[in-house]
Amino acid sequence: MQIEGTVQPWAISVSHSRLHLRGLIGDPEGDDNLQVLDVVFHDVSRICVSDSYRQFELRLATPEQKAAEEERLGMQWPRALMYLLSSERTADYVVAGRVYWAEFDVSPTEPSPLLQEREGVRVPDQIFYA
């Protein structure tokens, strides 16, 4: 998945091992509403992210890339996947069990419906995951 816009870390939930990144697509100075795309990682084991991405590209690390990082850190994540976040910054990644993403019709300042755990929160018809 690629996002042309600004993607930033938005929230970390330590108790639920989640990381929320928010993408804002469009012209912040324009008259049109910004598109909001949320990316939420679950069962996070390790985070190595930048403060902002202009060219966000979410993809799975190869087994060789994951093994090299595990060896470098002296750690292993046997049941987790390593997600790379940018083709320009190969050291930026999240190790997690699963990732979900969806576009929402919300204000950029509102919380993500992907993180809401109460009834009545409107979620999109399509939520993607890997």
Q: How confident is the model at residue 121 (pLDDT cuts 50, 70, 90)?
A: very low
Mean of pLDDT values over 86-113: 87
Region 118-130: mean pLDDT is 54
pLDDT class of 30 with cuts at 50, 70, 90:
low
Give the containing element (helix H, strand E) for 41.
Answer: strand 35-42
More confident residue, 62 or 120: 62
Distances (CA, A) of 83 to 13, 50, 118, 120: 18, 14, 28, 31
Mean pLDDT of 27-38: 77
Phi then psi for 113, rounded to 5 degrees?
-60, -25
Return the DSSP state at 84.
E
Indicate if the pLDDT at residue 93 is higher than 80: yes
3 state SS of 11: strand
Cα separation, 104 vs 94, in Å, equals: 23
Query: What average pLDDT does the segment 71-92 reach?
Result: 93
Count of Cβ atoms closer than 10 Å to residue 102 Cβ: 19
Report the range of poorest mean pLDDT among 5-14, 24-33, 96-105, 121-130: 121-130
Q: What is the pTM of this model?
A: 0.85
Q: For the chain, give the percent of residues with pLDDT over 70.
A: 85
